[in-house]
Amino acid sequence: MKKFIKKFVNRETVLYGVFGVGTSVLNVVLFRILIIVMDYKVANLITLIVVKLAAYLCNKNFVFRSKCANFQELVKEFVRYVITRGATALIDYFGLILLVEVCKANTMISKIVITALVVVINYFLGKKHVFKAAKKESVE
């Protein structure tokens, strides 16, 4: 049991949790502010762009401690990030529409549910496909 806990509870997962909560709060709060003045779909799109960029900086520098040897490596990493987070942004964007318009769920509750789902998916995509340069040094 100790080995299992050590494998899944480490510096990386704790920091991902901390920054994941932070970006999730930013996601929900910014969305809440924007839906006051615009349609929820536009508000969600703007929110997703802002939050994805903030998450990239946090994950790169603090969670996965990714180091790129040169500009080309940085561009490749960022492109991998945009592709993977773009996919989960689609889940976020269309998932919210599905919950609100098809399931008739509350907009804010739907946003929170979708955000939680996307955070989990993003961790695994980030670890396995985006921040490859960090490798073993990030798991302490």
Residue type at position 64: F
Residue at 73 is within a domain: yes
Q: Which domain holds residue 53?
A: 10-131
Residues of the chain falling short of pLDDT 50: 134-140
Locus of tokens 């492109």: 79
Residue at 137 is within a domain: no
CA atoms of 74 and 97, how far apart (whole Å): 34
19 neighbors 58 (Cβ within 8 angstroms): yes
Summarize pLDDT for 56-87 with one digit per residue, the tens: 999 899 988 888 899 999 999 899 888 988 99
Residue at 17 is within a domain: yes
CA atoms of 18 and 80, how far apart (whole Å): 23
